[in-house]
Structure 1
Amino acid sequence: MIALPAPGELLHFSEDPSIVAFVPHVAATAQQPEAYVWAVDALNSPCYWFPRQCPRVCSWDPAGSGPRVHAVEQRWLPTIRSTTLWSYRFAADDFEPFGERPHAYVATHPVEPLGPPDRVGDLVAPHEQHGIELRVLAELEPSFTQVRERGLEFSGIRIGNAGIGPDGPFPTRR
């Protein structure tokens, strides 16, 4: 089972198991010019149980009364099943909440993990183990629209990759 961060810890997920120190940088997908090291808490960690480039919509009821749901496109399922992911643990004291409604935490100085990374196994199984419904859909956009319309808390990650498979664009439908 994928461990969530312990109290006082945050996690960073990566496909690279060899990182010994994290140095702030401006990510290629960044919407801000500042250099950061990114990490997530227990609420947001499950949103990162996917290959980095995989588009997904993660949603949950802010009152906690409904199920948490993660949606991905069918074309990404083989990549989800074959990707090896690593989780790095950090002391939360090294990070600050990012944004008014924090969905992540950032450090503006180099940080070292608390130990070697943990190998994350099957990326589908932890959803079931943590009671998260994993929906595999033909297209992601209708689900994303529905989540926004229902007023759920959500995280849409790599949505720009929706409709594009792990090996590049698909032919236009006829």
Structure 2
Amino acid sequence: MNLFHFSDEGSIDVFLPRVKENRKELPPVVWAIDEEHEFTFFFPRSCPRIVYTRSDEMSDEDRRAFFGATQANIVVTVETGWYERIKRSTVYRYRMPAETFELFDTIAGYYISPRTIVPLAVEPYGNLIDRLIARGVEVRFTPNLHPLREAILNSTLTDFGIHKFDNAARA
């Protein structure tokens, strides 16, 4: 299994366990993501975004509302104001030693480790939108994420992630 950590910084020699701002109930850990879900980090770190996946559990009404005429199984929606930043950004993908991590969240593909981690390799990732498209992810842009967030939270969708929402435009 391949695990990765994404960063806007390309020169990290060691990852120290830390308490994550939105997970203060957890002890200090290092985070990683599996290869299947890594696309959720093909964005500048502070970019607000919503990712959702088609599933059998959703109602027919929600399938029509969220997937409409698309054949894509995964949709990522970002605020329009981030388009140029995403287009110009390079993120860095650090390959992590998988044996030091344990599964934290199956749906999101998150893994954690309480140990200090020395990455095995790092590579720059540019052309982020092209990378998403190459994976069959539908990328949508909207002026404001708030209506989509509210719709998802009041739906039958079960496989979704709302990332860096504190950085979203005000409703």
Q: Is the TM value for this pair above 0.5? A: yes
Alignment coverage as a number of residue pairs? 157
For residue 122 of structure 1, what is the amino acid of its counterpart? Answer: N
Aligned-residue RMSD, C-alpha: 2.3
TM-score (norm 2): 0.82
User: Which of the numbers 93, 96, 104 marks the counterpart of 2:110?
Assistant: 104
Q: What does 1:52-71 correspond to in 2, within 5 Å?
A: 52-63=45-56, 67-71=73-77
Q: Measure the CA separation in 1 of the matches of 2:36 and 2:144.
A: 25
Distance of aligned partners of 1:156 and 1:136 in 2 relative to their CA distance in 1, 3 Å threshold: same
Q: In 1, are the aligned partners of 2:52 and 2:76 still within 8 Å (CA)? A: yes
Equivalence for 2:39: 46
Q: Measure the CA separation in 1 of the matches of 2:19 and 2:164.
A: 16
How much does 1:42 deviate? 2.2
Q: In 1, are the aligned partners of 2:73 and 2:137 still within 8 Å (CA)? A: yes
More helix by share: 2
Q: Which consecutive residues of structure 1, in runs of 5 or more, have no partner in the other structure?
A: 1-7, 165-172
User: Which of the numbers 4, 13, 24 marks the counterpart of 1:11?
Assistant: 4
Equivalence for 1:119: 124
Q: In 1, are the aligned partners of 2:49 and 2:164 still within 8 Å (CA)? A: yes
How much does 1:146 deviate? 2.9
Which has the higher relative contact order, 1 or 2, with Cα contacts under 8 A spaced 6 or more apart? 2
Tell me the percent identity.
Answer: 28
Q: What does 1:16-95 correspond to in 2, within 5 Å?
A: 16-63=9-56, 67-95=73-101
For residue 50 of structure 1, what is the amino acid of its counterpart? Answer: F
- Answer yes or no: is 1:130 the counterpart of 2:135: yes
Q: Measure the CA separation in 2 of the matches of 1:99 and 1:84.
A: 26
How much does 1:29 deviate? 3.8
Q: Which consecutive residues of structure 2, in runs of 5 or more, have no partner in the other structure?
A: 57-70
Query: What's the secondary structure of 1:44's corresponding residue?
Result: helix
